[in-house]
């Protein structure tokens, strides 16, 4: 599997927010502004047919508005694939709002959105299967909000994306299962909203066979990487998991 990092930063920096592309066809999160960075990461709109949303903060879902505009208005409709969007319970409501922002009431009907977008709300940890992939969702906490981490398995390897979550035993299960793991490491210490460097290092040292890449880092960490004994994911780069 190959992961192209369109963006992995917080909304408090001028770097791209959360968006990852797996094997050129699956997006994990689509944060506000990230579609403007598709070219840098070599991601093509029309090849995307699935989007997995971790949670409903703007830096993880806000880019869906631009994504739909681009997909509908500028893509070759004949080549456009149907799109399935997965996310926590409440996804339908959030997408209704984002579709409204994208097209207003007047234009929505022009694009047959109901015909080409399938929406799947996830409320348990049952595995999903499609093509060569098995996807395991993990139900996590991000302050008051639900966050879903996704672990994608193909050819015996697992790559995972945490979204924003605090540390708990469910995160341990998720992190242990991933050969390559994009794991939140927001600041120095874990808070009710985010895993921090303290628990990130603990996980990294516990499961040494796996590779953990720090995402969603504040500038204090990201701009001082030599002070921290971890690997940081980089916007615009791609990572292999084979
Ligand atoms: Zn968040």
CA 57 to ligand 1 centroid distance, Å = 5
Indicate the SS3 state at residue 48: coil
CA of 218 to the centre of ligand 1 (A): 13
Contact 207, 176 (CB under 8 A): yes
Q: What is the mean pLDDT of residues 179-200?
A: 97
- Model pLDDT, residue 60: 97
pLDDT in tens, 45-101: 888 999 999 999 999 999 999 998 888 876 666 666 688 999 999 999 999 999 888
pLDDT at 102: 87
What is the maximal distance between C-alpha atoms in the chain? Answer: 54
Q: Residue 62's domain spans which residues?
A: 2-240
Instruction: Give how far Cα 68 sits from Cα of 11, 52, 83, 98, 113, Å.
Output: 21, 15, 10, 9, 9
Q: Could you tell me the sign of the dihedral formed by the alpha carbons of 57, 29, 160, 200, in that order?
A: negative
Calculate how far, in angstroms, residue 234's C-alpha sits from the geometric centre of ligand 1: 19
Q: What pLDDT, on the 0 to 100 scale, is given for residue 217?
A: 95
Contact indicator for 43, 5 with CB cutoff of 8 Å: no
Q: What pLDDT score does 142 carry?
A: 97
Dist. CA 97 → ligand 1 center (Å): 18
Separation of 142 CA from ligand 1 center, angstroms? 7
Domain containing residue 168: CATH number: 3.60.15.10
* CA 197 – ligand 1 centroid, Å: 17
The pLDDT of residue 16 is 94
Do strands 19-22 and 2-7 pair parallel, antiparallel, or not at all (unpaired)?
antiparallel
Between the CA of 138 and the centroid of ligand 1 the distance, in Å, is 16
User: What's the pLDDT score for residue 77?
Assistant: 65
Q: How far is the CA of 163 from the centre of ligand 1 (A)?
A: 7
Instruction: Say how many Å lie between the CA of residue 155 and the centre of ligand 1.
Output: 31
Confidence of residue 223 (pLDDT cuts 50, 70, 90): very high
Give CA–CA dist 230/18, Å, rounded: 19
Query: Looking at residues 12-21, what average pLDDT do you find?
Result: 92
Contacts of 51 (CB under 8 A, 6+ apart): 26, 27, 28, 30, 64, 67, 83, 84, 85, 86
> In the prediction, which pLDDT does 220 show?
92
pLDDT digits (tens, 9 = 90+) for 125-146: 999 999 999 999 999 999 999 9
Question: In the prediction, which pLDDT does 124 show?
Answer: 97
Mean pLDDT of all residues belonging to the chain: 93
Q: How far is the CA of 108 from the centre of ligand 1 (A)?
A: 28
Q: How many domains does the chain have?
A: 1
54 CA distance to ligand 1 middle (Å): 9
CA 55 – ligand 1 centroid, Å: 7
Q: Using a pLDDT cut of 90, give the percent of the chain over it.
A: 81
Give residue 147 CA to ligand 1 midpoint distance, Å: 8
């Amino acid at each position: 599997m190959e992961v192209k990092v369109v963006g992995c930063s917080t909304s408090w920096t001028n770097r791209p927010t959360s968006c990852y592309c797996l094997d050129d066809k699956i997006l994990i999160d689509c944060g506000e502004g990230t579609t403007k960075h598709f070219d840098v990461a070599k991601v093509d709109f029309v090849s995307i047919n699935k989007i997995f949303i971790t949670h409903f903060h703007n830096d993880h879902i806000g880019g869906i508005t631009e994504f739909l505009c681009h997909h509908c208005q500028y893509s070759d409709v004949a080549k456009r694939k149907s799109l399935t969007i997965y996310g926590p319970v409440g996804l339908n409501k959030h997408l209704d709002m984002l579709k409204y922002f994208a097209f207003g009431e007047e234009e929505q009907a022009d694009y047959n959105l109901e015909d080409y977008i399938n929406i799947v709300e996830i409320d348990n940890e049952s595995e999903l299967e499609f093509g060569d992939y098995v996807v395991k969702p993990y139900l996590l906490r991000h302050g008051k909000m639900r966050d879903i981490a996704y672990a994608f398995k193909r050819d015996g390897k697992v790559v995972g994306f945490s979204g924003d979550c605090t540390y708990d035993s469910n995160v341990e299960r998720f992190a242990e299962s991933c050969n390559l793991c994009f794991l939140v490491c927001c600041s120095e210490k874990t808070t009710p909203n985010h895993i921090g460097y303290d628990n990130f290092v603990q996980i990294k040292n516990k499961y040494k066979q796996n590779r953990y890449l720090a995402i969603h880092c504040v500038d204090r960490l990201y701009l001082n990487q030599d002070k921290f004994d971890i690997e940081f994911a980089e916007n615009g780069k791609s990572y292999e998991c084979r």
